Amino acid sequence: MKLHELEREQLLAVGLDEAWRFFSSPRNLDRITPPDLRFRIISTDIDGMFPGQILEYRVKAIPFLWQTWVTEIKHLSERSSFVDEQRLGPYAFWFHRHTFTPVDGGVLMKDRVSYAMPFGIIGNLVHRLYVRRKLEWIFDFRYRELDRLFNRSGAYPPAA
């Protein structure tokens, strides 16, 4: 199994409390996910975040194919970091660490995703041809949305 890494960081021009309030609400995940994925939260226990929380989503990563994705919130450190680990989904392994550090001008948010593809050599070929670009596209979209929500307006609009 080949382990892949994706890292991103972004300065958010808000305080730590505001950044944490946004990211610790699973309800906001669809706001920073490309609409093309048709991301839907299936779980009903999504008010806040806690260690051991199981979250179920549906996404349409490939046209005409819905994928169920189940993650567990792990290693939560209030106002500092949390990890979501895949329990069921498209990857053989998925470990996504989110960190939040107060800095001059706001909060430095970092994402580090460690993941592996299923199906051995075939999965790694699909990764090279499609999956890596798709993940970068998703995180590029996320970066732009977070910039729009936190940096241009000075505050994010309330969740619907």
Q: For the chain, which domains are there?
A: 3-152 (3.30.530.20)
| Cβ-based burial of 121 (10 A; exposed 0-12, middle 13-18, buried ≥19) | exposed
Please list the residues that pair with 59 across neighbouring strands: 67
Tell me the per-residue pLDDT of 45-75, one tens digit each, with 9 for 90 and over: 788 899 999 999 999 877 788 999 999 999 9
Global model pTM greater than 0.85: yes
The answer to whether residue 157 scores a pLDDT higher than 90 is no
